[in-house]
Amino acid sequence: MQTESPVDPRVFTLGDFDFQLSPELIAQHPAGERSASRLLDGTAAPATDRIFRDLPGRLSAGDLLVFNDTRVIKARLHGEKPTGGKVELLIERVLSGNQVAAHMRVSKKPEIGTTLALQGAPGSHDGLCATLLGRWPDADGALFRFVLSNDLGDDPCALMEKHGHVPLPPYITHADTAQDADRYQTVFARNPGAVAAPTAALHFDHALLQKLASVGIQSAHVTLHVGAGTFQPVKTENLAEHRMHSEWYDVPLATQEALAECRARGGRVVAVGTTTVRTLESWVQSGQARGDTSIFITPGFRFQVVDLLVTNFHLPKSTLMMLVSAFAGHAHVMALYRHAIEQRYRFFSYGDAMLLARAQPLGKQVTDGKPW
């Protein structure tokens, strides 16, 4: 296992998380079968090339897999301004009173009070529109607040499901299809609210979940509604100057209890995806089981919950590269990425996965009355 000092004295900058990737290694479509993706096992040296369905053999009875059960919503809507100019909305959050907070792509921002005519489903004429109320949550926010409505009185979630498009990441170049509606969603998704999939969990199918359970590997769920900010580039060399986006999370009581039981029996906590890591570490760090998190995990962070991590390959210079480097060690992660590129692994949301072990002992766990 990669070893580094508990608090790495090195000051990391943005360039430390860069790498060169040929465009043909960016997966544009999912593997034929979810669990047929490749798995780079980086838990021991040398790294081992595996298939994702080999995962049960890399875990032990009593381990606990923790999944993010968020459901991707059809959050991308197209339309036009009264002047005829084109506009695209990417719904980030559903608010109260049929209001939504959304990113807006438009050549010239419309005035507050402007009503945008949105494109409905083919053959639909139900008056789908969005009225601009201002910025959210404040005048400096990157999101805009709209009332989303139609003549039938449908709520925003129903409108998006009927008229919206799957919000594929910017590096996937094709328009969304019926395949994307199925495969850019985990098989256990149940809590709608994400605009990006928890991609490490896309590799799990029902047969694999049954196999894991049959060998004594337990599972639990958290929710983190992944926002579009997950693709937000870091623009400053000084990482401390980067402002993280905020996302809503929930750690149910049943999951808190499952985590405590796992630790008591000597099992390992296996986070499926960086969103699960951010959720669990936010909960323990803040003491709040539900709320918003803008946690920014970089090398030197002391993990308090997670032992193993299943994760996809991430964008260079991204906050997710920083998180996995903090978890498994920067030098080790960069070496794994070099191996993956040489062996032509598939990258990003529809790509292959890695299995990583935590490089350092767990930090001091907070136990002031919580099950953990």
Phi, psi of 337 (to 5 degrees): -65, -40
What pLDDT score does 4 carry? 39
**Please, where are the H alpha helices in 215-318?**
253-264, 274-286
- Where residue 300 sits, what CATH number does that domain have? 3.40.1780.10
What is the rounded average pLDDT of the residues 65-75?
Answer: 97
Q: In this model, does residue 10 exceed pLDDT 80?
A: no
What pLDDT score does 365 carry? 59
Task: Please state, in angstroms and rounded to a whole number, the distance separating the CA atoms of residues 333 and 328.
Answer: 7
Task: Please state, in angstroms and rounded to a whole number, the distance separating the CA atoms of residues 19 and 317.
Answer: 8
Are residues 157 and 64 part of one domain? no
Whether residue 84 is contained in a domain is answered as yes
Q: In this model, does residue 125 exceed pLDDT 70?
A: no
Tell me which of 132, 163, 194 is where a domain ends: 163
Are residues 104 and 44 part of one domain? no
Cβ atoms 299, 325 nearer than 8 A: yes
Structural domain boundaries enclosing 142: 76-163
Whether residue 20 is contained in a domain is answered as yes
Cβ atoms 330, 4 nearer than 8 A: yes
Among 17, 3, 5, CA closest to 239 = 17
Number of domain units in the chain: 2
Tell me which of 128, 163, 198 is where a domain ends: 163
Tracing tokens 């090339």 back to the chain, one arrives at 49
Are residues 198 and 80 part of one domain? no
Are residues 281 and 230 part of one domain? yes
pLDDT digits (tens, 9 = 90+) for 300-333: 999 999 999 999 999 999 999 999 999 999 999 9
- Tell me whether residue 260 is exposed, middle or buried, using C-beta atoms within 10 angstroms of its C-beta: 0 to 12, 13 to 18, 19 or more: middle
Whether residue 372 is contained in a domain is answered as no
| Cβ-based neighbours of 35, under 8 Å, separated by 6 or more | 51, 52, 53, 203, 204, 205, 207, 208
Strand (E) or helix (H) holding 328: helix 319-328
Whether residue 221 is contained in a domain is answered as yes
pLDDT digits (tens, 9 = 90+) for 220-258: 999 999 998 888 889 999 999 998 989 999 999 999 999
Per the structure block, which two tokens stand in for 151?
A: 């003549």
Are residues 21 and 116 part of one domain? no
Whether residue 274 is contained in a domain is answered as yes
Whether residue 31 is contained in a domain is answered as yes
Tell me which of 136, 163, 190 is where a domain ends: 163
